[in-house]
Amino acid sequence: MTLPFAPPVAPMLAKLEHEIPLGEGWRFEPKWDGFRALVFRDGEGVHIQSRDGRGLERFFPELVPALAEAFPPDCVVDGEIILAGPEGLEFDQLQLRLHPAESRIRKLAAQIPASYVAFDLLAQDGVDLRAEPFDDRRARLGSMLGTEATEHLPVGETAVLLTPRTDDPEVAAAWFDSFERLGLDGVVAKRADQRYVPGKREMVKVKHRRTADCVVIGYRLSKTGDGVGSLLLGVYDDAGRLHFIGHTSAFRAAERREILERVRPLETTMEAALEAALGTLEGVDPARMAGGPSRWSRGHEAAFVPLEPVLVVEVTYDHLQGERFRHAAGFVRWRTDKAPRDCTFEQVQRRG
């Protein structure tokens, strides 16, 4: 091995802020919505490492020759694996690539090929660059690649691109707005003299704050049992059926007890909840039932208490993945002025 360090290497992370930072010395990049990946190009070999240290080249075989051609034979690059569709980045399609069957992966690689967007250079020609200023690392990376990603993302093909960069916060603000329709997360800010510190939140990220009004369809008790641990959320479709969309949690102790007092008078049976949600128990898809299996539970579904669908809350969320919030939504406020039937999929299905 000719590289100055071996995988796995924890990627440098970003802390969340609500505003784009101002002042001298900041550099800004779009925040991509994909799989964080470090590429180790060692001789003729290519190793793609995930954020948590796993190898990804098995799941993205089309990237291996593309990365081998784009990068010199002795470097380590930090970036993001993305998958672009006609309307922008497709995270759901990207997740399909994490399949156990090699035949399925090969088929998907041909049908929905992924690309790689590079944004930092950690090593080159046997030299560890992590202690060098970011501006120097970026200059080296730019000389290596040259082709910046644009609004015309590669659809149906594999490309290796350089992320755009600016030192103008007004340009960064324009990216924040204009790139949202393409499915990008927001903006990342880095200091010009910043070292690369593995595993530390040394960068700044500013993400889009999306809100939605949702019906409270159930709750789970906190671990202590004296308050609400999480609220289950639902929205209505065009046919008037209520669907589970996610949950909100992370309440303070006093809030957990207060919410429990608010929801307890609305407790109901599962049969009554399903009747209210769907009008019938016949032909119900369990995956779409309120409190049914969810992505965030990872198969360990805790008991929940169904509620009459009368309370409405406003929440913040980052992404809609399929018909569910990808992560836990943030509680904003109770919406006593909003009718439950006005909480529809329409408010969360628009991008940008």
Active-site residue (options: 31, 190, 200, 223): 31
User: Do 64 and 37 touch, CB atoms closer than 8 A?
Assistant: no
Sign of torsion over alpha carbons 28, 29, 33, 38:
negative
Find tokens 């032909």 and name the residue: 283
Q: In this structure, what token pair is assigned to residue 99? A: 């399949």
Q: Running DSSP on this structure, what letter comes out for residue 22?
A: -
Query: Given the structure tokens 């944004």, which residue do they identify?
Result: 119
CA–CA gap between residue 238 and residue 209 (Å, rounded): 25
Contacts of 278 (CB under 8 A, 6+ apart): 241, 242, 284
Q: How far is CA 274 from CA 156, 232, 270, 330, in A?
A: 42, 14, 6, 26
DSSP 36-93: EEEEEEETTEEEEEETTS-B-TTT-TTHHHHHHHHS-SEEEEEEEEE-EETTEE-HHH
Query: CA 188 to CA 318: how far, in whole Å?
Result: 15
Identify the sign of the CA torsion 305, 290, 254, 16: positive
Known catalytic residue: 338? no
Nearest to 250 by CA among 316, 306, 335: 316
350 Cβ neighbours under 8 A, 6+ residues apart: none
Q: Are 235 and 345 in contact (CB under 8 A)?
A: yes
Helical H segments across the chain, by residue range: 63-70, 91-95, 102-111, 134-144, 169-178, 253-263, 270-278, 346-349
Euclidean distance between CA atoms 311 and 313, whole angstroms: 7
CA distance 44 to 37: 19
- For the annotated catalytic residues, the residue numbers are 31
